[in-house]
Every structure is written in structure tokens, then in C-alpha cells.
């Protein structure tokens, strides 16, 4: 799912959160009005109005979320669900949490250390998450605070008509074949790859997202906390970013690099004016909505080297949970479970089911799996990694630093600067008193 650019320094916001949340634990539920008790054990007696905060402003504006809420109301006639969209969710939600104005149901911040989840979210009932695939996420101290809204992978979303027009006979299975496909697309007057360089957040796919699966080790980023100099030309960082720099240098990407043309890029891919994206499968539905025919859009694993097989990530999308400050916690819990398990959200937006179910509903996802990638199930970014990133003032969640690395004429020199920042952060973290 599209992630938004972070504008606040995460470390600063977290410090504010900790200061403002100091008294939250003792407020308890004493201020919370009791919800109506169920009649004869039925659940339909839940009542009240709750607000869900979300990054999907588009689904508020097109009525999709209202449709889900209307169906929910049939189950709970005295209940209503309203929605509020945050344009820069990753940063906006931290500010909202700090003021306790976080609605009733919300997406869990990806850059909030696990040990702080209990300060802002209610623990979920064990039965709600019994089949959850991603067991290391949204948990702390044996308690789970969120459910995944879907399961994603990353790969090449491509236009089949563009490939046919460029004379590409088969799907690239090696990096050499990928570059050859780019050459043919460019010769046919088609932009081979749309990086969405100006939008910034898609660049994470060419950096930390790829690094964390191409080695087959989902702990790759977490293990960086044990290194002083994790950025090197001859490791996964150098490999992934060198690919992106190569396609930029060869002119295989969009002309207006610094313009944020995310919405425009979807239309261009839908029309076949662009050949490929490297993004998550969630992009497919948006490209179809931009005018592409179902049969014209495909999806295959990214061939990041010339080996015979490749890894692909299996990631959770945003987690959804209940605010600790909600005055309607029981109703909010019911909505979270309904949203994840009973609405068509997962199927509508091209996700694999968040529970361990197998068969995807989207044809493009079935095509992707037909190439037999070795799926690497993600593990949560550790608190140690998040704290190191904050201390080093590196926003892995926004993609800004990837943009800077792709623009540099000397990648190793830029790596050296990052390594120095990382080393200082590591030394500072080791010197900090442990709780």
C-alpha cells in the first residue's frame, strides 16, 4: 500500500509521544462510558459512533469504505463507522497519538517501537489473531495489538501490450534479460521503467525493501545493528542500488525525475506508454482503475541477478488496531475483526489473505507465483533497528535517502557518509543506559 513521505524527524516525535503518554496508563477505562450489553448473548446490541483513521483517502472519496460501514450497520444496527483520511499518515498519526486524538480504530505506525504499542493501543483478543500469518509484528510482551489488513509481495508490474509492441518474446528471468527488455522498450518509444523518483516513497523498493529479501534473510536489516559499516558496494546494498543507478544512467526511466507524477504514472502504465513498475501487487488494482484492461497487466518476480532462481518478499500490509483512548473499545474491536475478515478489502485491492490461506483471487498474483519465486516471510523491524535508525536520523520509511543515493556520482563515497552516521549512532546506543 502506498506509504506517505515522513516530514517530522521520527526521533523527535517519539520523544514527544513518550512525554505526553506518561499519564495515559493510569487513565484507564474509568472515563469510558459503558457500551450497551449484549441482549441474550447477541452482538447486535453494540451501539455508538466510532472513527477510523486511514491513509486510503481514495477509498473514502469513492465510497468504498462507506459501503463496508453500511454492511457493518446491518450486523450492528445501532452502530456507525466514520472515516478520516490522513494525507501523510506515517508522520500525521504520530502527532495525533501524542494528543490522544487518534480516533477509535487506526493503522499502527510502522516506526513505533514495539515496546511502546501498549501505551497507545488496546491488546486484541487471542482468538482474533489465531490465524495471523505474521506472528512477530504488532506484538509485545505476549500481546498482539493489530491485525494485518493483507499480505503483499513486490515484483515487476508490467504492460503486456507494451512488451508485445517492443518485441519482447518472454518474461525476463535474469538481470541480463531485464536490461535487454529495457533496451527494446526504449527503442520502441516506451519508457521501460517508471521509478516514481519524484514521489520518493516508491524508491524504497530499490533500497531497503529489496535488500531485506534478495539475500533470503528477512533479518538482514535488523542485523545491521551489529555492524559499523553495513553499506558496501559488494553487498546487497550495493547490488540493489547499482541496478537502479544503471537504469537511470541508461535512460530507461521517466524523463521528469523530480516531479511527483504518481497518479500520472499509473495512467501511463495502463496505456502502455510505460512498460514496468517495481512495486507491490497492491499497485495492480490501481493501474486497472486507471484504465488498463485486466488481460493487459501482468506481474513477475524481479530478477535482481543472473541466477536461476530468485527470492521474493512476503510482507504484511498495514496493521489495524484499536486506540487506547477510544471510548467505544468493544465496538471498535468488532469493527477491526469485521473489516479484516468479512469485508472484500483484501480481494478488492489485490492482496493475499492476511491469514495463512493459499490461493490468491487475482490472476496477476497467480502469474507471479507460476515463476516459482522463493518467498521470504518478513519479520518485524526490531526496536534496536528502529532506535538506531532514529538515532542516525535516517528515515528508512520514507525513501528520502534512497533518492540521494541514486543521485550521487560516487556511490561508495555516499555509503561512507552513511556508515559514519551509523557508526556514531551505534556507539551512542551502546553507551546509553539500558532500562
Percent of the residues in the chain that have a pLDDT greater than 70, as a whole number = 86
Q: Quick one: which of 365, 430, 360, 417 has its CA closest to 391?
A: 430
Residue 30 has pLDDT above 50, yes or no: no
| pLDDT at residue 6 greater than cutoff 80 | no
pLDDT at 332 over 50: yes
Beta strand ranges found along 55-96 (DSSP E): 78-85
Min mean pLDDT across 176-185, 319-328, 375-384, 416-425 is at 375-384
pLDDT band, residue 5 (cuts 50/70/90): very low
Q: In this model, does residue 183 exceed pLDDT 90?
A: yes
Sign, CA dihedral 117-328-130-94, equals negative
What is the rounded distance in angstroms from the CA atom of residue 430 to the CA atom of residue 384?
11
**Mean model confidence pLDDT for the chain:** 86
Least confident piece of the model among 18-22, 215-219, 258-262, 423-427: 18-22
Task: Please give the pLDDT value at position 78.
Answer: 96
pLDDT tens digits along 191-208: 999 999 999 989 999 999
* Structure confidence by residue, pLDDT tens digits, 77-102: 999 999 999 988 888 898 999 999 99
Q: What does the block give as the cell for 352?
A: 493475499
User: In 3D, which of 373, 410, 225 has the Cα closest to residue 299?
Assistant: 373
- What pLDDT does 431 receive? 64
Question: Does 273 score more than 60 pLDDT?
Answer: yes
d(Cα 191, Cα 37) in Å, to the nearest integer? 60
Segment 406-430, tens digit of pLDDT? 999 999 999 999 999 999 999 987 7
The residue length of the chain stands at 435
Give the residue among 277, 247, 226, 224 at the shortest CA–CA distance from 394.
Answer: 224
Where in 333-429 does DSSP place strands (E)?
374-377
Amino acid at each position: 500500500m502506498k506509504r506517505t513521505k515522513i516530514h517530522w524527524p521520527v526521533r523527535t516525535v517519539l520523544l514527544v509521544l513518550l512525554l505526553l503518554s506518561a499519564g495515559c496508563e493510569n487513565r484507564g477505562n474509568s472515563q469510558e462510558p459503558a457500551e450497551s450489553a449484549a441482549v441474550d448473548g447477541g452482538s447486535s446490541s453494540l451501539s455508538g459512533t466510532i472513527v477510523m483513521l486511514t491513509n486510503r483517502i481514495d477509498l473514502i472519496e469513492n465510497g468504498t469504505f462507506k459501503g463496508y460501514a453500511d454492511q457493518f450497520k446491518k450486523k450492528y444496527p445501532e452502530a456507525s463507522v466514520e472515516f478520516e483520511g490522513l494525507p501523510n499518515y506515517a508522520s500525521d498519526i504520530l502527532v495525533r497519538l501524542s494528543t490522544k486524538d487518534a480516533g477509535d480504530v487506526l493503522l499502527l505506525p510502522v516506526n513505533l517501537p514495539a515496546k511502546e504499542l501498549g501505551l497507545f493501543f488496546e491488546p486484541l483478543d487471542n482468538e482474533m489473531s489465531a490465524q495471523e500469518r505474521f506472528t512477530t509484528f504488532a506484538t509485545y510482551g505476549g500481546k498482539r495489538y493489530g491485525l494485518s489488513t493483507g499480505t503483499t509481495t513486490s515484483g515487476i508490474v508490467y504492460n503486456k501490450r507494451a512488451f508485445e509492441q517492443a518485441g519482447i518474446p518472454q518474461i525476463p528471468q535474469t538481470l541480463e534479460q531485464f536490461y535487454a527488455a529495457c533496451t527494446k522498450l526504449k527503442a520502441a518509444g516506451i519508457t521501460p521503467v517508471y521509478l516514481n523518483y519524484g514521489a520518493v516513497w516508491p524508491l524504497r523498493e530499490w533500497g531497503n525493501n529489496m535488500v531485506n529479501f534478495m539475500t533470503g534473510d528477512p533479518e538482514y536489516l535488523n542485523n545491521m545493528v551489529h555492524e559499523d559499516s553495513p553499506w558496501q558496494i559488494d553487498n546487497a546494498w550495493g547490488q540493489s542500488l547499482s541496478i537502479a543507478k544503471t537504469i537511470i544512467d541508461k535512460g530507461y526511466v521517466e524523463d521528469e525525475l523530480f516531479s511527483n507524477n504518481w497518479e500520472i504514472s499509473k495512467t501511463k502504465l495502463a496505456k502502455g506508454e510505460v512498460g514496468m513498475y517495481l512495486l507491490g501487487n497492491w499497485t495492480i488494482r490501481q493501474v486497472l482503475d486507471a484504465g488498463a484492461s485486466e488481460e493487459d497487466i501482468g506481474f513477475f518476480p524481479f530478477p535482481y541477478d543472473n541466477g536461476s532462481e530468485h527470492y521474493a518478499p512476503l510482507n504484511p500490509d498495514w496493521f489495524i488496531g484499536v486506540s487506547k483512548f477510544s471510548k467505544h473499545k468493544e465496538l471498535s474491536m468488532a469493527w477491526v475483526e469485521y473489516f479484516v475478515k468479512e469485508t472484500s478489502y483484501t480481494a478488492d485491492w489485490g492482496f493475499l489473505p492476511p491469514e495463512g490461506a493459499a490461493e490468491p483471487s487475482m490472476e496477476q498474483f497467480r502469474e507471479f507465483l507460476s515463476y516459482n519465486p522463493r518467498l521470504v516471510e518478513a519479520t518485524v523491524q526490531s526496536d534496536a533497528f528502529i532506535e538506531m535508525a532514529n538515532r542516525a536520523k535516517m528515515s528508512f520509511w520514507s525513501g528520502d535517502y534512497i533518492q540521494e543515493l541514486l543521485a550521487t556520482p560516487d556511490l561508495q563515497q555516499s555509503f561512507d557518509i552513511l556508515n559514519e552516521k551509523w557508526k556514531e549512532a551505534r556507539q551512542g546506543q551502546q553507551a546509553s543506559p539500558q532500562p
